[in-house]
Amino acid sequence: MKPGIYYDISNEDYHSGPGVSSTTFKKIGRSPAHSQVPEEEKPAYRFGELFHRFLELGRDKWEDSVAVASEGMKFTTKDGKEFKRIAEERGLDIVKYDEAKAIYRMAENCLDLHLSEDKTVRDLWQKSRREVSHFWIDESTGLLCKCRSDVENTKISTILDWKTCQDAREHATQNAMASYGYHESAAFYLDGTGLDYFIWCWVEKTPPYAAQLEYCHRDDEIIQVGRVLYRRHLDIYKRCLDSGTWPAYADVPRQATLPSWASREYF
């Protein structure tokens, strides 16, 4: 894959193609060995992918790409088995009625959010490129790197990223940032694309499907911290790639300890 910007690469081809993504090297934060283990398919990932696809394609094209079951349909019944058989023959993803209903509400709540007094997320979404794939050579390591923006608008130098979650309150999104390295990915994306602003659109997966925007600039502290992390992890990845060794944890015993909060009240 040559370095450049691609607008017509499928999600499957992007993920299976060459290049180091933030998903791969973020796992080095646990250990290099963990970064080599393929992701397991989980129900939460499937729902998140369906939601992302909805906001990539729009409702009409999304409904053409899936088979939405009728309300109350059970796949153990004759009708349910026939529905499932036809969907599988056509290569369509089966979506339960309640899942589709949730996705519709979640998308509407995201798109109705205000970026400013007179601009909504819907305005940005309608006037921007979606699922834009970037490939570039990292100058420090020589590695081919890649990222894929959910929504990208070069006129306002902005990337928007959809994030499904259980809780979109500030303390919860802060914890999610730290736990899943979303700030590290954002720094990687901004440096790879050369854009200036990153917006997260958080949306809860349960009623009332509340949504919340958070934003940052490439010079903000959250991105500076993310940049230090991704540079560190990318360098480790390069060393492991060159040596052919992907170690897990330290090969020496460590002394057992308690977290500070567990012993604080006793001393």
Q: CA 215, CA 146: separation in Å to the nearest integer?
A: 22
Residue 260 located in a structural domain? no
Least confident of 21-25, 52-56, 136-140, 156-160: 21-25
Residue 201 located in a structural domain? yes
User: Can you give the pLDDT at residue 45?
Assistant: 86
- % of the chain residues with pLDDT over 70: 100
* Mean pLDDT, range 64-69, rounded to an integer: 96
Q: CA 203, CA 168: separation in Å to the nearest integer?
A: 6
DSSP 3-state of 142: coil
CATH number of the domain enclosing 152: 3.90.320.10
Residue 246 located in a structural domain? no
- % of the chain residues with pLDDT over 90: 88
**181: pLDDT strictly greater than 90:** yes
User: Can you give the pLDDT at residue 264?
Assistant: 80
Residue 252 located in a structural domain? no
User: What secondary structure letter does DSSP report for 249?
Assistant: S
> Residue 163 sits in which domain range?
14-24+38-235
Confidence of residue 71 (pLDDT cuts 50, 70, 90): very high
**244: pLDDT strictly greater than 90:** yes
**24: pLDDT strictly greater than 90:** no
**25: pLDDT strictly greater than 90:** no
Number of structural domains found in the chain:
1
User: Can you give the pLDDT at residue 94?
Assistant: 96
In the chain, where do the E strands start and end?
4-6, 66-68, 93-95, 129-137, 144-153, 158-165, 197-204, 211-217
Residue 3 located in a structural domain? no
Confidence of residue 22 (pLDDT cuts 50, 70, 90): very high
Q: CA 167, CA 46: separation in Å to the nearest integer?
A: 19
Arithmetic mean of pLDDT over the chain: 95
Q: CA 203, CA 104: separation in Å to the nearest integer?
A: 12
- Looking at residue 45, its amino acid is Y
Residue 71 located in a structural domain? yes
User: Can you give the pLDDT at residue 262?
Assistant: 87
Residue 95 located in a structural domain? yes
pLDDT one-digit tens code per residue, 123-152: 999 999 999 999 999 999 999 999 999 999
Phi, psi (deg, nearest 5) at residue 29: -55, -25
User: Can you give the pLDDT at residue 265?
Assistant: 75
Q: What is the pTM of this model?
A: 0.92
**267: pLDDT strictly greater than 80:** no
* Mean pLDDT, range 168-176, rounded to an integer: 97
Residue 174 located in a structural domain? yes
**44: pLDDT strictly greater than 90:** no
User: Can you give the pLDDT at residue 42?
Assistant: 75
User: Can you give the pLDDT at residue 5?
Assistant: 97
Confidence of residue 177 (pLDDT cuts 50, 70, 90): very high
pLDDT one-digit tens code per residue, 8-18: 999 889 998 99
Q: Check: CB of residue 113 under 8 Å from CB of residue 211.
A: yes
**90: pLDDT strictly greater than 80:** yes
Owner of token pair 């590290």: 184
